[in-house]
């Protein structure tokens, strides 16, 4: 794992990320209009886009495909899935992947970008509000995602990620007026934000542990249901490269089922699954050298 200790131990900056704060505030304010703009078509659009951007774009692509290389797909499909992740408005693919790999390298330590040991709301969303060079400067965070930084398509999507949500908003308004704009953009973005953030916060604070890892990660059923299987977080920290997070028969993992469907269609290959040892055999989560190098 590539680590520069001076970079990692540099304090969180005194400056606030006002662009990030302003955007997140705008999304939440827009979502408040949802009760006044409800229509059934807008509601079903909300469900569909939540799955497309959150379930496919973030959970399947950004997390399991790009960050952990849990499986492989043809490059054109990888780029399309990455674009769906960009539409979730959680940052470009290189930035998202680098942040998450830093989290796995130092989970629940002072170097973790979002540990609940610094407060629940810090881990949930406030960590996004403060500037830190290692998380915000491309030259500093890109070494943690060198595999993506070498790819011109991923670099382009990383550099232009802020534009696509605006284009989508215009399309939704022209298609279905304010109901589609509010439910398909504002409310959907807020919903996907919080289900992603609950994986950072709630699953490092509550739940049960199946494996003894050197952090606070837990399996939390209600986060798993909301986040398409990502809430089986203790399992994930124990087997970081596993495409399957729900390892018990009752741990429903929608994202893994989607990966299996892609495998059935011959679109997914090299699907990684863990060899499950007993509880006492797990001591720490594996590192990511083979992915980041």
What would the pLDDT profile of 166-218 be if each residue is shown by its tens digit? 999 999 999 999 999 999 999 999 999 999 999 999 999 999 999 999 899 99
| Residues in contact with 124: Cβ distance below 8 Å, sequence separation at least 6, in sequence order | 114, 197, 198, 200, 201, 202
**Side-chain half-sphere CA neighbours of 281 within 13 A:** 5
pLDDT band at residue 13 under the 50/70/90 scheme: low
Using CA atoms, how far apart are residues 145 and 235, in angstroms rounded to an integer? Answer: 23
Euclidean distance between the first and the last CA atom of the chain, given in angstroms as a whole number: 8
Residue 283 has pLDDT above 90, yes or no: no
Determine the pLDDT at residue 280: 45
Determine the pLDDT at residue 3: 43
Using CA atoms, how far apart are residues 255 and 232, in angstroms rounded to an integer? Answer: 11
Instruction: Identify whether the C-beta of residue 67 lies closer than 8 Å to the C-beta of residue 199.
Output: no
The residue that leads in pLDDT, 188 or 285, is: 188
Determine the pLDDT at residue 290: 41
Determine the pLDDT at residue 18: 93
pLDDT band at residue 24 under the 50/70/90 scheme: very high
Using CA atoms, how far apart are residues 43 and 154, in angstroms rounded to an integer? Answer: 32
Using CA atoms, how far apart are residues 144 and 288, in angstroms rounded to an integer? Answer: 10
Using CA atoms, how far apart are residues 65 and 243, in angstroms rounded to an integer? Answer: 8
Residue 245 has pLDDT above 60, yes or no: yes
Average pLDDT, the chain: 91
């Amino acid at each position: 794992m590539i680590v520069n200790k001076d970079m990692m131990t540099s304090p969180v900056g005194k400056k606030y990320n006002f662009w990030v704060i302003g955007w997140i505030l705008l999304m939440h304010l827009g979502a408040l209009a949802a009760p006044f703009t409800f229509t059934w078509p807008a509601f079903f659009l909300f469900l569909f886009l939540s799955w497309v951007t959150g379930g496919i774009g973030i959970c399947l692509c950004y997390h399991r495909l790009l960050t952990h290389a849990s499986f492989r797909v043809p490059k054109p499909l990888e780029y399309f899935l990455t674009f769906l992740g960009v539409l979730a408005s959680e940052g470009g693919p290189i930035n998202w992947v680098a942040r998450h790999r830093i989290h796995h390298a130092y989970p629940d330590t002072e170097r973790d970008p979002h540990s609940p040991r610094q407060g629940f709301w810090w881990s949930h969303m406030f960590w996004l509000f403060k500037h830190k060079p290692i998380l915000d400067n491309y030259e500093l965070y890109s070494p943690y995602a060198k595999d993506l930084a070498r790819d011109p398509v991923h670099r382009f999507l990383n550099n232009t990620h802020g534009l696509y949500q605006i284009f989508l908003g215009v399309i939704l308004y022209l298609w279905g007026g304010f109901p589609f704009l509010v439910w398909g953009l504002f409310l959907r973005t807020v919903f996907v934000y919080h289900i992603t953030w609950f994986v950072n916060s709630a699953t490092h604070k509550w739940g049960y542990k199946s494996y003894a890892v050197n952090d606070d990660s837990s399996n939390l059923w209600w986060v798993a249901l909301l986040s398409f299987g990502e809430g089986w977080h203790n399992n994930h920290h124990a087997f970081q490269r596993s495409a399957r997070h729900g390892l018990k028969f009752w741990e429903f993992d929608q994202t893994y089922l989607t990966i299996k469907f892609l495998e059935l269609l011959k679109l997914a290959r090299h699907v990684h699954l863990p060899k499950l040892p007993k509880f006492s055999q797990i001591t720490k989560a594996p590192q990511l050298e083979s992915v980041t190098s």
